[in-house]
């Protein structure tokens, strides 16, 4: 904690001012650091796990996490240990986890995809078959950033999708176990839990070892070593998006209690110093009130140093002439979280094209979405909402195209394929199609 | 063309033999080469395009493609030029492209996703909003591997998804234009066409220049420079999967004409020397007949050198005890293309978990799917069908979560979120939720 009082000075911007576009671009700029040394280390860890399997994973875990296990079996948690976690947490915590899990499950069940097919006049059948992934690995950070909510958000969509086996890895540095994380895993229906982490855990999931069957996809957040390892094994397994720092954009008509908005901004800023909280409003005086609230509330916050760094480096209060201008800015920023703290959010919704999750109305604090609203809290960051989606059931299923030509259909289409294949000088393609043409 | 007669010697494997698993793994092994020199070159090209925009793109295009243009305007094709392409191709070619486009469009329209929402008892509304991407770039290789079918397969799903602007880039080395490619672009409804290619075209699409607005996603195949550039700009824009060599797995009950199967295998093998064609059957004698057909047909093939290299390096004929064993192998291989050349493909379908596209019955040659069946020919390769899907409308749309809490819902859920947030030591989250609790 800092000795001198912290002062929050978010950037104050006015849309349309001469330097506005440039200042906004600077504010939004974000480059993740790609460190050669980290890449080298991770490549070596993956190689060792590839060659030595369990032995390598146990060695790395002893060394990095300072635990005493001699075998992988000692690093797997038993069903009994998982059941104990459910008893170790308070009743209020158990009920809250259970309530959140139920709501997350109900929401994600709406994302179920169905196989379909249709038949053409000549009897040809075309379709699409949806199949869940066989086996999924979930990475859960240990130590300081151990979030039970992440366990629910990653495991439940996989379960709803029909994934047969969910394997969770969570490091326990110095043997410290987070009971809430284990309880969340039990509630979400995780099948196996290993207390391993880092690049060695990612490698074990991607390549398989004697004790860990290789998975088809790895999801979940992690530090730079985990993120680098996920990038490196991508292609052999699927991965979720590599997340940048978390962000919120609040659009307000100035009718919400400034304290509420200040705390909504703080709830993003407290994640880490690179997190970004931006407020857009039509009323400059009200923006000043929010800034005053922020400074009044800051001393009460446990994570005030992180909040101050985030707000002062990357935060902003932006004044716009009207709410349409606010929506236009939103579509430019494509925020991870968008709060529409306005009287009539439905009026703005149709114009919003790019946002990971949209929180509508003054009561819908973003924090509710982090835990128990139902929708996923794993969302596209750094403007990637322009082209990507929240984590969902669709990330744990994939599609296969179905084609069944009737004899007549194959004959008709054989003629078409023949012309096009010869146009591309692919004559084996042409002849394969031509064999099916009836004379 | 080779001077000495080519002999096809695909690997002959028997499932269950002592060394079978090892030999199959060797056969399937594929590593894409990551060349440091290529990465360095591509990084420099991207940097120059970032700094010099149009000027850099024109310079690179003059130098790499040996064209004389002085400005980007000269590298954009006019609507009139596109219309001319439609007249330059034969009537048969025009009709074939039009027929293929219609069928591709009809199939992909089935993939449309809808927004949805539901209301809870307390008035809280949860939902998911589907929005198309704003702008998409399609890379089309020039020269030898210029495939009009790829233009249809990439552009039509984007159009069906509702993408506002589709920008195509296609290099024209030495100024050579492929009229079929341009005609396909006109038929698919591509909005703008630039005759540029390589890493400089990918950089221009991802970063934008004075003449080219930056896109949200880049799709389409390309050489190692293009693939490397796509990997490097990933995150700033979306990309499709980086494809490995094309593959086919044919499963047969031995009742299909051996010549048909031989040609189906050839149609994969003729793509390139790394392409993989595997045939699995229960009947060893019939496998021998197919091998004989292959050797008899090979001399007639225009691309026989490529076919021979592909079949002899990576091809295989595998004998299995029954069709269930064949399906088990399929699920292990997770092929890009699967042909079920059997009497009753519907019997096998429910057990097939992993394949990009499934071609059912003796009439359904894989080549039909490459051109005009309707489903996409951009499919997951190298076993990635375990966790990924054919290119589709869903790749050109993304989802936003919708959350609108009623006052009562926010109060109830505020209590739950508070417990969980405090369990994670995120007290600003907790307080933001607690503000919404009614006393």
Looking at the domain assignment, is residue A288 inside a domain? yes
Cβ-based burial of B273 (10 A; exposed 0-12, middle 13-18, buried ≥19)? middle
CA distance B240 to B378: 9
Among the candidates B373, B396, B422, a domain finishes at B373
A201 and A170 Cβ atoms separated by less than 8 Å: no
| Average pLDDT across chain B, whole number | 95
Q: Roughly how many angstroms between the first and final C-alpha of chain A, as a whole number? A: 85
Judge if B73 and B222 occupy the same domain.
yes
Judge if A163 and A234 occupy the same domain.
yes
At residue B35, the pLDDT reads: 77
Looking at the domain assignment, is residue B205 inside a domain? yes
Does B3 have pLDDT greater than 60?
no
Looking at the domain assignment, is residue B389 inside a domain? no
Judge if B79 and B227 occupy the same domain.
yes
Residue pLDDT, tens place only, B47-89:
999 999 999 999 999 999 999 999 999 999 999 999 999 999 9
Judge if B138 and B279 occupy the same domain.
no
Residue of B nearest to A380 (CA): B400
Judge if B46 and B167 occupy the same domain.
yes
Judge if A224 and A275 occupy the same domain.
no
- Residue A345 contacts B, CB cutoff 8 Å: yes
At residue B197, the pLDDT reads: 96
Global pTM value: 0.95
**Helix (H) / strand (E) containing A81:** helix A79-88
* A76 is a catalytic site residue: no
> How does residue B124 score in pLDDT terms, banded at 50, 70 and 90?
very high
Residue pLDDT, tens place only, A416-426:
999 999 999 99
At residue A32, the pLDDT reads: 65
Among the candidates B188, B216, B239, a domain finishes at B239
Chain A residues with CB under 8 Å of B384 CB are 235, 238
| Residue B360 lies in domain | 11-32+244-373
Judge if A363 and A419 occupy the same domain.
no
Residue pLDDT, tens place only, A273-314:
999 999 999 999 999 999 999 999 999 999 999 999 999 999
Residue pLDDT, tens place only, A217-253:
999 999 899 999 998 998 899 999 878 899 999 999 9
Residue pLDDT, tens place only, A39-54:
899 999 999 999 999 9
Judge if A108 and A181 occupy the same domain.
yes
Cβ-based burial of B312 (10 A; exposed 0-12, middle 13-18, buried ≥19)? middle
Among residues A108, A247, A291, A337, the one annotated as catalytic is: A337
Residue pLDDT, tens place only, B37-58:
998 999 999 999 999 999 999 9
Long-range contacts of A33-40 (CB under 8 A, 24+ apart): A33/A224, A35/A224, A38/A224, A38/A225, A38/A228, A39/A228, A39/A232
Judge if A50 and A138 occupy the same domain.
yes
The total domain count for chain A is 3
CA distance B192 to B163: 13
Q: Choose among B107, B237, B389: nearest Cβ to A126.
A: B107
- Residue A56 contacts B, CB cutoff 8 Å: no
Judge if B235 and B326 occupy the same domain.
no
Q: Range with the lowest mean pLDDT among A122-136, A328-342, B110-124, B140-154?
A: B140-154
Judge if B63 and B112 occupy the same domain.
yes
Percent of all residues in chain A with a pLDDT value above 90, rounded to a whole number: 91
CA distance B56 to A157: 45
> How does residue A409 score in pLDDT terms, banded at 50, 70 and 90?
very high
Looking at the domain assignment, is residue A6 inside a domain? no
Looking at the domain assignment, is residue B386 inside a domain? no
**Mean pLDDT, residues A388-402:** 98
Chain B residues with CB under 8 Å of A361 CB are 404-405
Q: Choose among A307, A386, A398: nearest Cβ to B428.
A: A307
Residue of B nearest to A350 (CA): B129
At residue A14, the pLDDT reads: 95
CA distance A436 to B362: 9
**Mean pLDDT, residues A367-387:** 96
Residue pLDDT, tens place only, A140-171:
998 766 799 999 999 999 999 999 999 999 99
A139 is in an annotated binding site: yes
Residue of B nearest to A119 (CA): B107
Looking at the domain assignment, is residue B307 inside a domain? yes
B168 and B196 Cβ atoms separated by less than 8 Å: no
Among residues B247, B291, B337, B339, the one annotated as catalytic is: B337
Residue pLDDT, tens place only, B129-181:
999 999 999 999 987 667 999 999 999 999 999 999 999 999 999 999 999 99
Residue pLDDT, tens place only, A93-110:
999 999 999 999 999 999
CA distance A338 to A357: 6
> How does residue A3 score in pLDDT terms, banded at 50, 70 and 90?
low
Does A35 have pLDDT greater than 90?
no
**135-164 in A: which are within 8 Å (CB) of B?**
146-149
At residue B332, the pLDDT reads: 96
Looking at the domain assignment, is residue A316 inside a domain? yes
* B291 is a catalytic site residue: no
Among the candidates B331, B358, B373, a domain finishes at B373
Judge if B234 and B249 occupy the same domain.
no
Minimal CA separation from A70 to chain B, in Å: 30
ipTM: 0.95
At residue B212, the pLDDT reads: 97
CATH code where residue B284 lies: 3.40.50.1980
At residue B1, the pLDDT reads: 47
Looking at the domain assignment, is residue A4 inside a domain? no
> What b/e readout covers B4-20, taking b as 16+ CB neighbours within 10 angstroms?
eebebebbebebeeeee
Minimal CA separation from A421 to chain B, in Å: 8
At residue A33, the pLDDT reads: 63
Cα atoms found within 13 Å of the Cα of residue A332, Cβ hemisphere only: 13
H helices of B118-220, in order, are: 148-161, 179-188, 198-207
At residue B411, the pLDDT reads: 97
At residue A36, the pLDDT reads: 82
A377 is in an annotated binding site: no
At residue B4, the pLDDT reads: 64
Select from A340, A332, A348, A339 the least CA-distant residue to A383.
A332
At residue B241, the pLDDT reads: 83
Does B319 have pLDDT greater than 90?
yes
The position carrying tokens 């750094």 is: A382
Partners of A317 in beta bridges: A12, A279
Residue B100 to residue A358, Cβ atoms within 8 A: no
| Average pLDDT across chain A, whole number | 95
Residue of B nearest to A244 (CA): B235
At residue B116, the pLDDT reads: 98
Residue A403 to residue B359, Cβ atoms within 8 A: yes
Does A1 have pLDDT greater than 50?
no
Residue A403 to residue B372, Cβ atoms within 8 A: no
């Amino acid at each position: 904690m800092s000795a001198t009082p912290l002062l929050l000075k978010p950037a104050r911007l006015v849309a349309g001012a001469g330097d506005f576009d440039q200042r906004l671009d600077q504010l939004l700029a974000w480059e993740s650091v790609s460190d050669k040394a980290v890449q080298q280390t991770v490549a070596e860890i993956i190689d060792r796990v590839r060659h030595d399997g369990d032995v390598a994973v146990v060695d790395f875990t002893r060394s990095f996490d300072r635990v005493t296990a001699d075998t992988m079996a000692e690093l797997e948690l038993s069903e009994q240990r998982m059941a104990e976690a459910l008893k170790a947490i308070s009743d209020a915590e158990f009920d809250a986890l259970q309530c959140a899990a139920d709501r997350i499950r109900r929401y994600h069940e709406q994302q179920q995809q169905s196989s379909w097919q249709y038949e053409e006049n000549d009897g040809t059948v075309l379709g699409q078959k949806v199949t869940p992934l066989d086996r999924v690995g979930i990475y859960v950070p240990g130590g300081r950033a151990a979030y039970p909510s992440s366990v629910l958000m990653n495991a439940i969509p996989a379960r709803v999708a029909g994934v047969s086996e969910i394997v969770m890895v969570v490091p326990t540095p110095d043997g410290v176990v987070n009971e809430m994380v284990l309880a969340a895993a039990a509630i979400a229906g995780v099948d196996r839990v290993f207390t391993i982490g880092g690049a060695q855990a990612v490698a074990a999931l991607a390549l398989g070892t004697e004790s860990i069957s290789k998975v088809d996809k790895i999801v979940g957040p992690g530090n730079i070593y985990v993120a680098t390892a996920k990038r490196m094994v991508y292609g052999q397994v699927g991965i979720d998006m590599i997340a940048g720092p978390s962000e919120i954009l609040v659009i307000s008509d100035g009718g919400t209690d400034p304290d509420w908005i200040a705390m909504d901004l703080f709830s993003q800023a407290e994640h880490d110093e690179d997190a970004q909280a931006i407020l857009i409003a039509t009323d400059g005086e009200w923006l000043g009130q929010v800034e005053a609230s922020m400074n009044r509330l800051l001393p009460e916050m446990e994570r005030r140093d992180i909040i101050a760094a985030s707000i002062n480096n990357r935060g902003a209060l932006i004044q716009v002439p009207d709410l349409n201008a606010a929506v236009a800015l939103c579509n430019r920023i494509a925020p991870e979280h968008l709060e529409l703290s306005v009287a009539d959010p439905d009026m703005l919704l149709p114009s919003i094209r790019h946002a990971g999750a949209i929180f509508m109305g003054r009561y819908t604090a973003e924090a509710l979405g982090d835990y128990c609203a139902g929708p996923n809290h794993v969302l596209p960051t750094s403007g990637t909402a322009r082209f990507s989606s929240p984590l969902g059931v669709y990330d744990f299923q994939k599609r296969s195209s179905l084609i069944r030509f009737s004899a007549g259909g194959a004959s008709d289409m054989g003629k078409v394929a023949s012309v096009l294949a010869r146009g591309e000088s692919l004559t084996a393609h042409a002849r394969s199609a031509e064999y099916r043409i009836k004379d």
